[in-house]
Every structure is written in C-alpha cells, then in structure tokens.
Amino acid sequence: MSAKISPLAGKPATEATPVDVAALLAAYHDLQPDPSVPEQRVVFGTSGHRGSSLVRSFNAWHVQSVVQAICEYRRKEGIDGPLFVGIDTHALSAPAFESTVEVLAANGIATYVSRGGEFTPTPAVSHAILVFNRGRDSGLADGIVITPSHNPPESGGIKYNPPHGGPADTDATSWIAQRANALIEDGLREVKRQPFAQAIKASTTTEYDFLDRYVSDLGDVLDLDIIRARGVRMGVDPLGGAGVHYWRAIAERYTLDLTVVSETVDTTFSFMSLDWDGRVRMDPSSSYAMQRLIGLKDTFQVAFACDTDHDRHGVVAPSTGLLPANHYLAAAAWYLFQNRPGWRPDAAVGKTAVSTGLLDRVAASLGRPLREVPVGFKYFVSGLYDGSLGFGCEESAGASFLSRDGSVWSTDKDGIVAALLAGEMTARLGRDPGEIYRGITAELGDPANARIDAPASHAQKATLSKLSPDRVDSKTLAGDPIVAVVNQAGGQPIGGIKVSSAEAWFAARPSGTEDIYKVYGESFRGADHLAQVLAEAQAMVDKALG
C-alpha cells in the first residue's frame, strides 16, 4: 500500500488514546443525523450500514429507521417467520441491540435473541437461519446482525440477512436504505417503538441458544475427529469478539487441544496492538494488529484469530508467522477440494476479482470450475446455498464452504470454520498451512501481490467505476501480451477495470470512503515484475481517466 505506516503500528493500543465509551454511548442517544448531509444518511455498503455516533453516522435514529424499514421490507416480500438477532462486542452494539428489539417488538415481529445475552458471531446467525428454514416453503426466517465487523472501537454497524442466510443483495439494501432515510427525513413519525424493558419481555421475543446450535453442528462441516486423534496443538485469539465464549465450548465439546489465548472483552479493545495507521482495528489479516498471536507462533502447531463478529479469519503458522490472506485462501481451496468427497464433482472454486490468481491455477489443477465475482460476499450466496460452489472467498480474509456432505453450512463469511480448517489441514497432512502453501507454489507458481492507492477526484472515481474496457488501449502489460480487459465478473460490474496477461493482472477500483482509487496487482514473475505491473497499471488508469 502507498499509505504511510504510522510509527505506532504494531505497538500496544495502550500507547494511543482510548475511545471515550461514555461519550460514544451518550452521542448514540443524544445526537440526531441531518439527512441533508450525505455522511449522516443511511448507506448500505458491502456489509450493511456503518458509522460512528460521534460524527452522527450511527445513532439511535439510524438503527430505528433501518429496523423499521426491514420490518416493512419483510411484509412487502411476504417474509413472516422469526427474525434472528446477533450482536458483537463493540460498545455501540449494545444500545443498537436495544433499539432493534424495541422496533421489532412494536411491529409484532417474532424475534429470537441470544440466550443469556451471549454475543453472537455473524456465521452463527447465518447458520441458525438456514437450520430453521430447512425443509420449509413458508414461514421463513431471516436475521439482523449488529456489527461494524473489524472496524475501530468507535464504530457501529447493522446488516440484514434475508431467508437465504447470507448478506442481502443490492435490491434489498437499496430499498431498505431509501426507506430508512425517508423515515429519518420525516422525523421518525412512522417508526414503531416500545420501551426496551417491555420489548425484551414481549411474547414475540424469545431466547435462542445460538452457541449450542452452532457448536453442536460443527462436525458437519469439519473433520474434528482427525484433529483430536492427531492431538494437534492449537491456539486461538478471539480478539475480544463475538465468538469469545464459543472457542472453549468447541474445545470441550470435541475434546480438542485448543488454548484460548484471552477471553477478555473490553469495549476500548485496549488489549490489541495498533494497526498500520496507528488506530485500533480488530483485523486478523493485519500483521500489525495480530502481534499478540504472532508472538506465540512457536507455542502452537497452528494458531488463528477472528475479527469482532467472527466472519473473518487470520492464521498463524510456525513456518511463516501470519499467513497473508491470499496465501491461506489458496491453501484452503487446494486442500478442501481434495478432501471433501461428498461435494458435487462440478462444485466450483469461488473468488472475488481482486483475490489471488493462484486460486485460478488451483482450480485448473484440480479440474474444478472457477467462479469469479465482484467484491462482496453476497455474490457467493446462491452457489453456497445450492451446492454449486464448494468454497467462496475474498482477499480481505473472508471465506465459507459447504458441509462435508455438500449441503449448505453458512451463506455468510465464517471465520470460525475457516480458522479451524487450519487445524484439520495440519492434522491430515502433517504440515502447517504455511508449509502447505509453499508446496503449492512450488508446483503452480509463486505470486507476488500488492495494492497501491492513488488520488482521485469524485468525478474521476465515478468515471473509473463505469470505465469501459475499450478505454484501455495498451496491448501489453509489463512486457507480456494482454489477454483480457474486463469491467465485469460473473455478469456483474466490478466497479472498475481488470487487465490480465498470462503471468500478471491488475484491477483498479475507486474507494467508497476516500478520494482515492485502489490498484490491486499480482505477478507470477516476482517482485520486480510486479512493480512494473503496478506502474503501468497506474499509467493506464490515469490515461483512461484523463
């Protein structure tokens, strides 16, 4: 990345000023968004609406309007089963949960909340929806997850999962966001609410044991017996997230040698090490944020961590330390498709357009189809649901895969099963995931990859997001003939452009939050060739935008 690395990167979070939780919570209730300010409106990104109460982008008004809009969307779509609600450990998640239950109860929605107030990982909500809906044609369930994922402690977030269990598609989120903003503009007059003390005890509000359901079913998706039989010594750092109490339950239920490094929950997340920009961020794919577990790499045969809602994973191996996300995803795909005989023989490998090209080579070497999609896990939902996609992943360390018999497990990212898979791989092959990755690259090629950021105006970003392939007139990329220039993947726009040769590729996309565009690049000819690819990529994009 071209972004400047902070001198605090990797240092204990205690060296930075912690978030003022009291101010954060007060702002949630006291501040109201101004719908005339774009940054204060409801906007659904790839994983729901996110923001912070301190800057009026995630306040009670946002949550109440979004949940009311979801209630109306359900009625419009004829969704009349229960709604499962999950919650992570961010400070703003607790009041957002209360707002959510207040609106759901007032709307008469049958609502399942976690037993005993237990935190709930995103994949546990997805799995619960799918289990409930199995064999049903009516009365289907859906869900809401209250989480801003791995974002900093001052962040809040809320996302909607329809009856297929995965992230809502653009049609659904656009309708919900538009209706939520209209409700805000109208002063919430049409939002139904009742006091939380009344709502949590309403006849429509029921406790559900997400933890027991999820943990009980884990043997359906992973070979936990071989991990136990081989005595693989594993470590996990929940990073103070929603799965903090799941890991001990997993270890006890399946008699695994699994050490939970810490079960601390602290809404300031002061136990973290600071990320690349000197901020607290619970990103298990960041070597800066993962310093605690990296320091323990020689203590375990394999170790792993998950982000705050446990939909992302990070794997630490003695041979390599923290594996880059692309490395582990390639190793996971290579392993899974050779050790899941219950999957359909035509089940595909799924990847986003900016994930490593090594996945393409893995799929080809195993005789499996490759399904490339735009950025966003929602594009994997249908394939995971019907079994035509065995494994779906994105370069930001999100993945999910089918149950061992080829049936659907989760249609949202599942950091828990992706992490535990590292233990299964180590047990079966006698090598850690870093060693497995090196074996793959010795056979299929060793890619170098990187991302750079470049300044772009609002107009340039808009142009890039709709750039036509014919605007790229170059015939070669870093000395090799260009074999493809595309602005779509799987029939959907990627919001930018991707240019490929036989040995390298780059993709350029505008940032959704900053005045920059991002260039992802990869080369199978090494770091020097990658540098040439990225330089030519930026020149091509600048010329096209000119």
* CB distance 150 to 282 below 8 Å: yes
3-state secondary structure of 194: coil
Amino acid at the residue 95: P
Q: Give 134's contacts (C-beta < 8 A, 6+ positions apart).
A: none
Q: What Cα–Cα distance (Å) separates residue 493 from each residue in 12, 205, 300, 383, 454?
A: 41, 40, 43, 18, 21
Take residue 305 and report the two structure tokens written for it. 């961590």
Put the strands of the sheet holding 516-523 in their side by side order: 448-455, 516-523, 504-510, 492-500, 484-489
Tell me how far apart the alpha carbons of residues 284 and 359 are, in angstroms, rounded to a whole number. Answer: 21
Q: What Cα–Cα distance (Å) separates residue 19 from each residue in 53, 90, 267, 268, 373?
A: 12, 11, 9, 6, 37
Tell me how far apart the alpha carbons of residues 260 and 244 are, in angstroms, rounded to a whole number. Answer: 9
Take residue 296 and report the two structure tokens written for it. 């323990």
Strand partners, 273: 12
Q: How many CB atoms sit inside 10 A of residue 43's CB? A: 18
Of the candidates 47, 99, 126, 149, the residue annotated as catalytic is 149
Tell me how far apart the alpha carbons of residues 351 and 349 are, in angstroms, rounded to a whole number. Answer: 7
Residue 287 bears catalytic tag: no
Q: How many CB atoms sit inside 10 A of residue 473's CB? A: 9
Q: Give 18's contacts (C-beta < 8 A, 6+ positions apart).
A: 153, 268, 270
Q: What Cα–Cα distance (Å) separates residue 39 from each residue in 42, 153, 371?
A: 8, 19, 34
The separation between CA 191 and the C-alpha centre of its own chain, rounded to angstroms, equals 30
Tell me how far apart the alpha carbons of residues 417 and 110 are, in angstroms, rounded to a whole number. Answer: 29
* CB distance 143 to 104 below 8 Å: no
Tell me how far apart the alpha carbons of residues 318 and 321 are, in angstroms, rounded to a whole number. Answer: 6
Q: What Cα–Cα distance (Å) separates residue 15 from each residue in 12, 274, 281?
A: 6, 9, 14
* CB distance 464 to 497 below 8 Å: yes
Tell me how far apart the alpha carbons of residues 385 and 390 are, in angstroms, rounded to a whole number. Answer: 10
3-state secondary structure of 329: helix
Strand partners, 485: 499
Active site positions, annotated: 149
